[in-house]
Amino acid sequence: MRVFQVEGEWGMDHLKLSRRPEPKARPGQVLVRMRASALNYRDLVVPERGYGSYTGNLPLIPVSDGVGVVSEVGPGVHRVAPGDRVCPTFFQGWFGGEPDLERLTQSLGGPIDGTMTDIMCLSEQGVVKVPEYLTDTEAASLPCAALTAWSALTTESNVKVGDRVLIQGCGGVALFAVQFAKLLGAHVTVITSNEERMKRVRQLGADAAINYHAVPEWAKATREITSGRGYDLIIELGGEKTLPQSLRCIRPGGTIAMIGILSGSSMATSLGLIITRQVRLQGVTVGHRDGFEAMVRAMDQHKVKPIVDRVFGFAELKEAMAYLKSGAQFGKVCIAH
């Protein structure tokens, strides 16, 4: 079967199209014939061994997100059957409950082989059925970006009708967060980089948008939007350069969901605001299978459609990665198998 794998040494130069023998399903396992994959920022980091020992060992099949059809089940499998279309879960061992070290280190695309293969062999516990209304590329985008947004809004906070949510940027997590926050009845503000993207997020449902290039002190600009009250939840994706402003526009008692560090990983801000305003900084790392299944039920009920920017062929993985790295996309970058 075809695979893309990092082999020999770490680095993008060693990410190659190769072949492996087809796996066999043992008791409790399923074979999934993959139909599509979707890229995340993480997939640019893994080939460079950017997560150290947590990245895994070589050879390693990258990419965390994908969808496929169950082609075979091993003895004792009950959760799915041949013909079911499923997504592998990002954390293969986190089904529900609180995170711990073991649950947070069994992730696809490093250290466990990822989705850039024709056939995956997985535990029946590590797959989730997906709705029929989604295309393969739309469904492929759910395991990481969608679930991260869902976890930030529901599992790790409690967004209610009328709450005010601020979302940073127009990446995969951000766009899902816009859709889910509107589904939950929230008022949504998006900060983004240009007028065209402001227009597009408004079409997606955002109630307000700010161009942070034109308005560098965007925290001040949000005061009128929230009538000075501040936001109940901020989806924090920038990190070092955006967190100081987030702390200025979060309401007392509000939550900042720390998801990304796209502008840097150091903390250079006044910690006093966290204490005096009783702000909660909540790290969010994707989520568990129970959350995934709850998200899928909500999406199916409301027919939420993921935003797919561009689809590449299987052999075009490196080109797709380069496109993702460019930042030109609005929505998910996907791979058709």
User: Do 159 and 167 touch, CB atoms closer than 8 A?
Assistant: no
What are the residue ranges of helices labelled H in the chain?
42-45, 136-140, 147-150, 172-183, 195-204, 218-225, 243-249, 272-276, 289-302, 317-326
Residue in this structure with the two tokens 């989520």, named with its chain if needed: 287
336 beta partners: 36, 313
pLDDT of amino acid 268: 67
pLDDT for residue 264 is more than 60: no
Residue ranges and CATH numbers for the domains of the chain are: 2-143+287-336 (3.90.180.10), 157-283 (3.40.50.720)
pTM exceeding 0.85: yes
pLDDT of amino acid 248: 93
**165-212 pLDDT tens trace:** 999 989 999 999 999 999 999 999 999 989 999 999 999 999 999 999
pLDDT of amino acid 265: 61
